[in-house]
Structure 1
Amino acid sequence: MALFFSRRTYNAQKKKFTDNPAALTRYVSMTGQNNDGSVHTGGIVSQSDWLKQVQQAGGTKEILIYVHGFNTSQKDMLDRLGKIETGVKAQGFDGAVIAYDWPSDGTIFAYNKDRSDAKKTAPHLVGDGILPLLALSPRPKIHLIAHSMGGLVVLRGFSDFGDSVGHWGVEQTMFCSADIDAAWLEKGAWGGLVLKQRSKRFTNYYSGRDMVLALSGGLINGGRERAGHVGMPPLITKGHWDIYCNEQYKKHVPDAQQTTINSHRWWFDNTGFYKDLALTLDGKDAETMSTRRPTNQADLALLT
């Protein structure tokens, strides 16, 4: 079963979601797919039924929400959601694994449109997802794993909600290949501040071998380095952790698979990454995890 909530427009005549932003959030329960993975079966359900299904999937204890990035179709989102669920559960995570599906066009030629749509739909990650989940009884622990531009969705979603709805927050927030300005995560900068306020701990997995983010920072974003490529600035908020992943990538991804696209997406096929993710979700001490090694800088290295 795949559970997600989506801000894509739904075409009722064709019975499929589009790549455009919707006026309302829909809750979806997918019960299976064709053997070749081409068509997923299931459909839209009410929010109340969807919340019950999340609880039945293990969400009475913990819920991990996957927030996808740029150039991700709904099918790609579902495929990666399945990989994340399989990966963390194989390492002992027994909560529910779900996704927030924002309207990416699923093409490399729509960066600016995706970025605009990410900002536009970011508040619904919190208002239509995190807050209803936190209102469940018993109240579960909520975690987030955001890839690429999904980091922007999380930061904007966090910053758009104050405490007028009651004090709220999540347990673990984790970014991998984050396509956001690294400077935003410096201690005292807006990104660092909202993460400090809304998340018990923040973990930034980054790789200097991410060729997609090298292009994003060097060409598309005017030289502004990406957090998923260079890590956070030297002044880091307490409880925020940089995890250097160059060596994990070189050691565990075969040379033939070290392509531009895979340098940005390899996380979803890496057992070592899921081992570290599961330990992080479990709240283990960041500096003593068996999956990490010290470096000659302030950060830690993923090497399993």
Structure 2
Amino acid sequence: MATTNTFVVCTRAIDHSGQYIPEPGDTTFLRVSPAKQNYTPADKISRERWKKAVIAAADGDEDDVTGSTGDVLFFVHGYNNDIPTVLWRTRTLQSTLAAQGWRGLVVGFDWPSDNSTLNYLEDRNDASQVAQRLIDDVLQLLIDAQFPDGVEDPRCTINVHLLGHSTGAYVIMEAFANASKKGGFFKKPWRIAQVAFIGGDVSSASLAETSDWASPMYARIFRLTNYANGYDKVLGVSNMKRLGTSPRAGRVGIPANVPRKAVNVDCSDYFSTKDPATSVFTGTFNHAWHIGDPTFALDLALTLEGEIDRLVVPTRDNANGRLKLVGGRSRPEHQADWDDPRPIAP
């Protein structure tokens, strides 16, 4: 069970009885108590109160090297996620990342997806609609904090990251594409630090350097990390509900012609050793094993921190430039002491 409040941005509609339904609606900002295994509109607070609470929860000690004072990771779930699942995954990401030494805050971005695999195409249409909300109600918070009254505030040094699972990767890419068309966003030099995809339900080709769809995302981020698993059956082209769509990034990885800021981490060999009976997860194991896995959590934590180059992250093997996730690794033993200055001895 969570021990602190969980913060969520919810874009589900509210019906006449005051309950969330799996259709797009007005955005509500939620603060969910640790005792709850579900959330309702009763958990909403004002946007301003929510923003202040999130920034306060993410605001850590200032890093003397980078100047950063905190991290917020927005988790964008995929299709076929009901509210208890979204809450569990948000909390599990928070607890597993914290266990690996990451000190930031995980926030859920909940868009309307039905708890039925038959609703895949409808969910994808809803995802396209709510991508604009990821701009207006998440990225806008970043803009407001970094540019109060239209002027950049150098004191705002919170790093914002995005993690997209399954169709959540589609939502993120669509949001960046939409943001490039909005003058208020386009004219300001805002940046997202790290973007990561797990089980990404976007075509591999769409992440190419020449992709018009991916270009707005690449222009605003420091790094894209795509975690691919060749055993991901949900993303298989033989899956009838997918209607034979092109190979997905979450299954085959990224193409060869990508910007240098994009990196692929092949999880196939690591995944093939995992036993669902002894693993922590919810949903379909081959598609959702990441959330609850300690090795993935450590790799993601090190990625979000950005202190170690992508080619030498200790949870990865580099086989001729092909990065592979490996288990049984830990942080460098003396990493916590690397930044400590040593004065000249008297």
What's the TM-score, normalizing by structure 1?
Answer: 0.91
C-alpha change, 1:55 and 1:259, in structure 2 (3 Å) is closer
Q: Counterparts of 2:197 and 2:160 in 1: how far apart (Å)?
A: 15
**Match of 1:267, as an amino acid?**
H
C-alpha change, 1:45 and 1:121, in structure 2 (3 Å) is same
Partner of 1:29: 31
Percent identity between the two aligned chains: 28
Partner of 1:15: 18
Q: How does 1:19-168 map to 2 (within 5 A)?
A: 19-22=22-25, 24-34=26-36, 37=37, 43-59=43-59, 61-136=70-145, 138-162=156-180, 164-165=183-184, 166-168=188-190
CA contact (8 A) 1:134 1:142 kept: no
Structure 1 portions without partners, runs of 5+: none
C-alpha change, 1:219 and 1:32, in structure 2 (3 Å) is closer
Match of 2:301 among 278, 292, 296: 278
Deviation at 1:281?
Answer: 0.4
CA contact (8 A) 1:172 1:199 kept: yes
Q: Counterparts of 2:101 and 2:242 in 1: how far apart (Å)?
A: 39
Q: Counterparts of 1:199 and 1:158 in 2: how far apart (Å)?
A: 10
Give a deviation string over 1:168-192, Cα, whole Å, max 9, x none. 2200000000011111011211244
Q: Counterparts of 2:132 and 2:189 in 1: how far apart (Å)?
A: 16
Q: Counterparts of 1:133 and 1:292 in 2: how far apart (Å)?
A: 31
What's the TM-score, normalizing by structure 2?
Answer: 0.81
C-alpha change, 1:79 and 1:215, in structure 2 (3 Å) is farther
Structure 2 portions without partners, runs of 5+: 60-68, 146-154, 328-346
Deviation at 1:39?
Answer: 6.6
Relative to structure 2, which stretch is displaced further, 250-259 or 105-114? 250-259
Aligned residues: 299
Please tell me the root mean square deviation across aligned C-alpha atoms, in Å: 2.3
Q: Counterparts of 1:217 and 1:191 in 2: how far apart (Å)?
A: 25
Larger proportion of strand: 1
Matched, 1:4 2:13: no
SS in 1 for 2:303: helix
Deviation at 1:25?
Answer: 1.3
CA contact (8 A) 1:241 1:299 kept: no
C-alpha change, 1:200 and 1:89, in structure 2 (3 Å) is same
CA contact (8 A) 1:33 1:40 kept: no
C-alpha change, 1:217 and 1:288, in structure 2 (3 Å) is farther
SS in 1 for 2:85: helix
Q: Counterparts of 1:40 and 1:158 in 2: how far apart (Å)?
A: 29
Q: Counterparts of 1:159 and 1:10 in 2: how far apart (Å)?
A: 28
Q: Counterparts of 1:86 and 1:40 in 2: how far apart (Å)?
A: 22
Q: Counterparts of 1:230 and 1:256 in 2: how far apart (Å)?
A: 26
